[in-house]
């Protein structure tokens, strides 16, 4: 299995379990060399992989300013505060998430939310959505009964995910599955490989569609999903 990699100083850090270019928005790891005037952070806030107005009117600039610039940024800040001076200070984000699971709930919540958001931003793009092509399309046909069946189940799980959480498309061994998680949890801690995710915390959609989560889910599936990213995860 390949590995997402980022460079932090001279140390290569495994961030998740696929191949991505150094400095890609997914990594969330600072690659700037430390200096006497630079505060070195193991976990950093990656830029959005699109302009902050690029998803309008489906996801507004205001939503992105708050979701990315405040919620995501806060998880990054708290994670760095919590690992400072510990054995995890220079660990990769994936290592931090796995080490904290079941042992340090506060650290897990924040570090996992950084990972989840890094991943989520890459799952959406302007003029995305609709039926996929390539390997993921074949796997959806094989394991999930075709695209329409997948879309129906993914939407139902996303709308039915009570409270705050995430709905994922993930590989469990060699089988494609739709997986729901609550709060900050993610398939990575269950030995699965994440391929796609929708954020169903209210701050992801409330300013744009208020309490009509179903509209946000439909927009995600029909107009936003970055299937190229999903296929790249399977490469």
Higher pLDDT, 26 or 124: 124
Q: Give binding residues for Mn(2+) as ranges.
A: 67, 117, 199, 203
pTM of the model: 0.84
Long-range pairs of 205-213 with CB within 8 A, sequence gap ≥ 24: 205/59, 205/63, 207/60, 207/62, 207/63, 207/66, 208/57, 208/58, 208/59, 208/60, 208/63, 213/158, 213/159
- Kindly report the average pLDDT of the chain as a whole number: 86
In this structure, what DSSP letter does residue 33 have?
Answer: P
4-29+60-122, CATH topology level: Helix Hairpins (1.10.287)
Binding region = 67, 117, 199, 203
Phi, psi torsion values for 110, nearest 5 degrees: -75, -45
Residue 14 scores a pLDDT above 70: no
3-state secondary structure of 225: strand
Helix (H, G, I), strand (E, B) or coil at 231: helix
Cα–Cα distance for residue pair 123/103, rounded to 1 Å: 29
Domain limits, CATH 3.55.40.20, in the chain: 134-234
Q: Cis omega before residue 57 (within 30°)?
A: yes
pLDDT in tens, 138-180: 999 999 999 999 999 999 999 999 999 999 999 999 999 999 9
For domain 134-234, which architecture applies? 3-Layer(bab) Sandwich (3.55)
Nearest Cα to 230, choosing from 193, 192, 182?
193
């Amino acid at each position: 299995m390949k590995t997402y990699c980022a460079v932090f100083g001279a140390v290569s850090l495994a961030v998740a379990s696929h191949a991505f270019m150094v400095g890609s928005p997914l990594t969330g790891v600072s690659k700037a060399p430390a200096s006497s005037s630079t505060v070195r952070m193991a976990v950093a806030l990656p830029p959005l992989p699109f302009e902050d107005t690029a998803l309008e009117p489906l996801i507004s600039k205001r939503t992105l300013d708050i979701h990315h610039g405040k919620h995501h940024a806060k998880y990054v800040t708290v994670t760095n505060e919590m690992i400072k001076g510990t054995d995890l200070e220079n660990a990769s984000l994936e290592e931090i998430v796995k080490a904290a699971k079941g042992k340090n709930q506060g650290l897990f919540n924040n570090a996992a939310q950084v990972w989840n958001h890094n991943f989520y931003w890459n799952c959406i793009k302007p003029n995305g959505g609709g039926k996929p092509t390539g390997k993921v399309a074949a796997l959806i046909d094989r394991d999930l009964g075709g695209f329409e069946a997948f879309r129906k189940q993914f939407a139902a799980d996303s709308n039915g995910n009570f409270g705050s959480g995430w709905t994922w498309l993930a590989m469990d061994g060699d089988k494609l599955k739709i997986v729901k998680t609550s709060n900050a949890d993610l398939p990575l801690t269950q030995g699965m490989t994440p391929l796609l995710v929708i954020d169903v915390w209210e701050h992801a959609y409330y300013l744009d569609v208020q309490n009509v989560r179903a509209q946000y889910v439909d927009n995600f599936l029909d107009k936003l999903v970055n299937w190229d990213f999903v296929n790249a995860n399977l490469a």
